[in-house]
């Protein structure tokens, strides 16, 4: 380290430190950009800090078209179910029936706000803007069941049909959600749901995807060797040994979940193997 760089280091350190101190000092004379948010604790205080920031209420800080909690105006719902189909995580449940006049009745329109991810895909296809996002965003409470918002009455609601009912306008956005949010704070009768068994996975027959271009020169059939995975093998061997021991000890134990699983896998593998065999037969002669 030369003498020049020695002095330079000291100089630059002091210089940049003074610059930084100047910046932090100048920020003391600027107004903070944040303001208090106390919607739950101290409404008066909240009002004060909002006034300082030149606002009437915190909703004003949220822009138009904000994607908050979903609101459904059931008066203008046509029961088409587009929103239900658009939802990637099946948050919306719609049940429909028909009454004596052969009109569609929306028996149930439920939105599970506990799982909703506010992506906005449901409100886009809606033909009458019945389902829309409000500016409300605070729905947290102590009981997750309360976040299931039922929008149709239990008797059902005759779906809106512009031809038969005449033109209807959608109720003002955000006018209905507030009651629902207040309802959600009520303590339910039972709030520890019992455990439910796992849903049985649906059996889906797997089909191989089509090949892209048939310009394959020589197609060697992919050899089929039945070699099981070492991990599974280890597990199965362990289970076998356990069973042997159990037999030795003559103790009856309920079979493990893992054994069930492997059994299921075996069955599935057989099915898959059969399918492959048939498909290979189909494919190969062409080449």
- Using CB under 8 A as the binding rule, the residues of this chain from 149 to 188 that contact other proteins are none
Chain residues 216-275 in contact with other proteins, contact rule CB under 8 A: 216-220, 222-227, 229, 231-232, 235, 257-258, 261, 264-265, 268-269, 272, 275
Verify binding: residue 142, other proteins, rule CB under 8 A.
Answer: no
Site string for other proteins, 192-221 (x = CB under 8 A): -x-xx-xx-x----xxxxxxxx-xxxxxx-
Stretch that binds other proteins, among 72-80, 98-106, 109-117, 177-185 (CB under 8 A): 109-117
Verify binding: residue 43, other proteins, rule CB under 8 A.
Answer: no
Stretch that binds other proteins, among 32-40, 73-81, 176-184, 241-249 (CB under 8 A): 32-40
CA atoms within 13 A on the CB side of 74: 21
Please tell me the distance from the alpha carbon of residue 179 to that of residue 110, in angstroms, as a whole number.
16
Stretch that binds other proteins, among 73-81, 116-124, 164-172, 240-248 (CB under 8 A): 116-124
Closer to other proteins at the Cβ: 182 or 196?
196
Tokens of 162: 């512009």
Chain residues 55-74 in contact with other proteins, contact rule CB under 8 A: 62-67
Closer to other proteins at the Cβ: 26 or 252?
26
- Write down the least CB distance from residue 111 to other proteins, Å: 10
Strand 104-112 vs strand 92-98: parallel, antiparallel, or unpaired?
antiparallel
Q: Are 111 and 191 in contact (CB under 8 A)?
A: no
Residue 88 CB contacts under 8 Å (≥ 6 apart), including other chains? 119, 121
Closer to other proteins at the Cβ: 166 or 209?
209
Strand 70-72 vs strand 131-133: parallel, antiparallel, or unpaired?
antiparallel
Closest alpha carbon to 146 in 123, 173, 113, 178? 113
């Amino acid at each position: 380290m030369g003498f020049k760089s020695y002095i330079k280091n000291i100089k630059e350190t002091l210089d940049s430190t003074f610059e930084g101190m100047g910046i932090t000092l100048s920020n003391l004379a600027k107004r903070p950009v944040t303001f208090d948010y106390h919607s739950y604790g101290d409404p008066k205080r909240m009002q004060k800090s909002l006034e300082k920031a030149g606002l009437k209420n915190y909703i004003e800080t949220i822009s138009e078209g904000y994607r908050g909690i979903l609101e459904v105006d059931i008066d203008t719902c046509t029961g088409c179910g587009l929103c239900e189909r658009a939802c990637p995580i099946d948050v919306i449940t719609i049940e429909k029936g028909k009454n004596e006049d052969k009109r569609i009745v929306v028996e149930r329109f439920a939105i599970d706000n506990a799982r909703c991810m506010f992506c906005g895909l449901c409100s886009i296809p809606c033909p009458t803007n019945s389902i829309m996002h409000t500016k409300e965003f605070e729905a947290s409470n102590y009981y997750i069941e309360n976040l299931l918002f039922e929008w149709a009455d239990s008797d059902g609601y005759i779906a809106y049909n512009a031809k038969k009912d005449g033109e209807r306008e959608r109720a003002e956005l955000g006018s209905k959600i507030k009651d629902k949010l207040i309802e959600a704070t009520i303590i339910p009768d039972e709030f520890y749901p019992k455990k439910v068994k796992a849903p049985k996975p649906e059996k889906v027959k797997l089909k191989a995807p089509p090949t892209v271009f048939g310009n394959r020169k020589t197609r060697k059939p992919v050899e089929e060797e039945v070699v099981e995975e070492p991990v599974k093998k280890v597990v199965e061997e362990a289970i076998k040994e356990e069973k042997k021991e159990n037999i030795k000890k003559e103790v009856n134990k309920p079979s493990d979940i893992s054994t069930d699983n492997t059994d299921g896998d075996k069955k599935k593998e057989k099915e898959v193997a059969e399918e492959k065999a048939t498909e290979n037969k189909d494919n190969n002669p062409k080449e």
